[in-house]
Structure 1
Amino acid sequence: MHIKRETFGKTKDGIEVQLYTLQNEKGMQVSVTNYGAIVTSVLAPDKDGKLEDVVLGFPSLDGYTNEAYQKSHPYFGAVVGRYGNRIAKGKFALNGKEYSLATNNAPNHLHGGNIGFDQVVWGVEELPEQNGVQFTYLSPDGEEGYPGTLLVSVTYSLTEENELVLTYKATTDQATPVNLTHHSYFNLTGEAEDILGHGLTLNADQYTVVNDTLIPTGELRNVTGTPFDFTTAHSIGERISQVEGGGYDHNFVLRKTEGALALAATVVEPQSGRIMEVFTTEPGVQFYSGNFLDGTLTGKKGQPITKRMGFCLETQHFPDSPNQPTFPNTVLEPGQVYRQTTVYKFSGK
C-alpha cells in the first residue's frame, strides 16, 4: 500500500491543488484531490481482474473548474455540503429564526449553494497507516447563509478488501443543519456503454415521494408494485420510462439500522462482472440515474458524457429535512459531533 502525491492544477485564484493516489496490494487505485475533496478516478477489477476506471471525472483540475462544467455543475466525485440535496425554496427556520439560502436549483437550494464544499480547497493530511488521506475544511459562520462555524473532516482510505471507506466528522459552534454526502457517478463498464444494464438492489422498502421540483411531500411510500422497488435486483433501465421527470432522482428510506454500518445497495454489471456494494450508517440513499448529463462535457477517454453514462448512490439524510419535522433530524448542536461512515466495496465475479 502506498500514497502517491502530484500536482493536479491551480485554481483561478492561483492556489495549487494536489492529487493523491491510493493503491492496495491487489492493484486497485483511487485518486482524490483536495479541491472539493473530489474522487477523480477509481480503478476497480472485473471478473478477470482487469482494472478499469469506474467513475466519471477529468484528468486535470481544469475539467472541474472550466465554464462548461460550472454551467452544468454535475458535482462529479465531490463531497457536497453544508447540506447535500435540496432545501425547499432555500429557506428554513431554526430556534425561532428564518434563514435564507441561495436558490441555485430554482426554486430550491441544492448541495450547499452557489459555492458549496465541492468548490473549495480543503486542507489535507496523508495517513499512510490507513492508506488514506484526511481532508479538512472550516466553513465560516454565515457561509452560503448557514449559521455557525462548522469544522468538517472527510477521510478516504483504501483497504486490502477493495473497499473505499469514507469517514465524515463535523463540529459546530452554533446549531446548524448538516447533511454531507459523496457524489461520484459510477459506471461499472468503465464508460464502455451507458448504465441502463446495471442490476441494482436497494435495501429500502420505502422512498420519499417528491413534488415536481423534487422536494419531498412528507409521504414515505411503499415501493411494492412501483418502478422504485429494487428490493430484488432489477436493471436500472428496466422501468425507468415509468418514472416521472425523466428518470430516478429519489431518496430511498433504508431499513433501520440505528446508525450501524449496514448494506444499502448492490450493483452488478453483467458483462464485466463488476460488483459494487454500498454500506452506510445513514438513513437514506439518493439514487440518481444521470438524467441531466447532456453531452456538453468530455470524459477521460475523449467521449461526450451523455445522459445515463453514470449513476449516483448518495448516502444521506433525507432531502429538505430542516422543513420536515417527521424526517430524521439533521441539526447539529454545539458540543455534538456529526459522524457518518460510507463504504464502496468493489469485486468481480
Structure 2
Amino acid sequence: MPTVHRKPFGRAHGRSEVDLWTLDSGTGVRAEILTWGGVLHSLTVPDTDGVPGPVVRSLPALDDYTDKNPYFGATVGRYANRIAHGRFTLDGTTHHIPVNDRGHALHGGPEGFHNRIWEATGESGDSVAALRLALHSPHGDMGFPGALDVTATYTLDAAGTLAVDYTAVTDRPTVVTLTSHAYLNLGADDILGHTLQVDADHYLPVDPDSIPEGPITPVAGTPFDLTAPHPLGERLAGHHPQLALSGGFDHCWVLRDGDPGTLHRAARLTAPDDRRTLELWTTEPGLQVYTGNQLDGAFTDGAGRRHERHGSLCLETQHLPDSPNRPAHPTTVLRPGDTLRSRTEWRFPHLRAV
C-alpha cells in the first residue's frame, strides 16, 4: 500500500523550516520531495532484477539547494525557460522581469518559485500516495502581473508511476508555464550511453543566448532527429552549429500535435544496460532537453560524486520558450476565471518485468 511520510530537512537561511516528504509506492518506487522549491530530491526505482537505485541526481543538504545552483530538481516558474530581455507586453502593458541569464529572464527570474518554501499537505490511500504543494505569488512578484495561486500535486501509485499535476489561478491577466527541473540518470556514470527518443518532428533553434531564433524547424537530417531511439553520445558527437552553440542539447522540441490538454507521450529514455526505462507523458506542447552542458563538477551528491558535464539530463515538459513575445506559439496567457492545468507522468515500463 502506498504511504506518505514527513521529516525535517533543515532551516532555510537558518530561519524557516523545510520538510522532506517521502512518497512510497509499496512496490519499490520511492520519491522524496522538499518543501523548498518543490524540489524532487530523490527518485528510487528498481531495475529489471528488482535492485533499487536512484534515477535523479541531487544535492546533499538544504544549504546546497538554498545557495545558487543550476535548479537541481526544482519546480520552476512563474515562467519556465526564457523570456527574451526580461520583458513582454500583455494587453498593451509592458512588464519587466529581472534578468538572470545573459541579459534574459530564466525560470521566473532570480527569485522564482525554485527559491520559495511551499506549503505541503500529504495523504495516502489504497492505491496512491500524494503530496500537495501550494504557493501564493503576489501581484508584481518578479515583475509579473497578477496574484497567482499555484499548486503542484505529486502522486505515486502502486504501479510505480510518479505524476505531477500543476494548477494556477490569477486575479488579473498574466503569463505562466511550470515544469520540473529534475536531472535524470537511469544508472550509469553519464548519460552518453543512454538512448533517447523524443516524439517530435520539429524543434526550436536558438541564438548564442539560448533565445529561439527563426521559425520552428524540422529535425529531419539533423542530430536533433530523435524520432527513433538514438544513443545520446552519438547525437551529441554530431557536427551541427546548434550543438556547438550550446555544448550539447539545450533546446525545446515541439511535440507532435494532439488534442489540447490531452496526455501524450513526449519521450522515452533507456539506460545503457536496458535495465531501466523511463517514459515521459505530458499535456504540454514542448519538451526542453538539456544535457547538463554547464555542469563542471562544482556540485556533488550525498555520496560525494561530482555532477559533471553530460552526467545527467533534464527533460522539462513545458510551453515553448519566450512565448509571451511570440504570437505564433501556443499561448501562455492565464486570465481571471480560467485555471491552468498541466500534468506530467514519469512511467517506468520495465517494472512490468520485475
Name the TM tier (shorter chain): over 0.9
| Pairwise CA distance, 1:257 | 1.4
Correspondence for 1:204? 200
The answer to whether the 8 A contact 1:45-1:346 is kept is no
Find the aligned partners of 2:57 and 2:42 in 1 and give their Cα distance.
7
| Pairwise CA distance, 1:60 | 2.6
| Pairwise CA distance, 1:195 | 0.5
In terms of mean alpha carbon deviation, does 316-325 or 254-263 score higher? 254-263
Letter in 2 for 1:319: P
Find the aligned partners of 2:305 and 2:284 in 1 and give their Cα distance.
35
2:64 is the alignment partner of 1:83? no
Q: Which of 329, 336, 341 is 1:339 aligned to?
A: 341
| Pairwise CA distance, 1:4 | 1.6
| Pairwise CA distance, 1:47 | 1.6
Letter in 2 for 1:170: A
Correspondence for 1:308? 310
The answer to whether the 8 A contact 1:162-1:347 is kept is no
The answer to whether the 8 A contact 2:59-2:299 is kept is no
Q: Which of 144, 148, 161 is 1:150 aligned to?
A: 148
The answer to whether the 8 A contact 2:78-2:112 is kept is yes
Identity %: 42
SS at match of 2:183: coil
The answer to whether the 8 A contact 1:218-1:326 is kept is no
State TM-score, norm by structure 1. Answer: 0.96
| Pairwise CA distance, 1:300 | 2.1
Correspondence for 2:172? 174
Q: Deviations over 1:257-311 (max 9, x none)?
A: 1221011100011325100000000000000000010111111221211111110
SS at match of 1:339: strand
SS at match of 1:131: strand
Correspondence for 1:213? 209
Q: Deviations over 1:301-345 (max 9, x none)?
A: 212111111100000000000000100000100110000000011
Correspondence for 2:181? 183
Correspondence for 2:247? 246
Find the aligned partners of 1:347 and 1:232 in 2 and give their Cα distance.
18
Q: Deviations over 1:210-244 (max 9, x none)?
A: 11111112411111110000000001110213312
Correspondence for 1:299? 301
SS at match of 1:147: coil
Q: Which of 221, 228, 233 is 2:224 aligned to?
A: 228
**How well do the aligned residues superpose, as a CA RMSD in angstroms?**
1.1
SS at match of 1:237: helix
The number of residues matched between the two structures is 342
The answer to whether the 8 A contact 2:288-2:315 is kept is yes
State TM-score, norm by structure 2. Answer: 0.94
Q: Deviations over 1:165-215 (max 9, x none)?
A: 1000000001111010111000001xx401010000000000012111111
Alignment of 1:87-102 (within 5 A): 87-102=83-98
Correspondence for 2:50? 49
Find the aligned partners of 1:347 and 1:324 in 2 and give their Cα distance.
37
Find the aligned partners of 2:247 and 2:333 in 1 and give their Cα distance.
32
Q: Which ranges in structure 2 are unaligned for 5 or more consecutive residues?
A: none
The answer to whether the 8 A contact 2:28-2:160 is kept is no
Question: CA 1:347/1:52 → structure 2, altered by over 3 Å: closer, same or farther?
Answer: farther
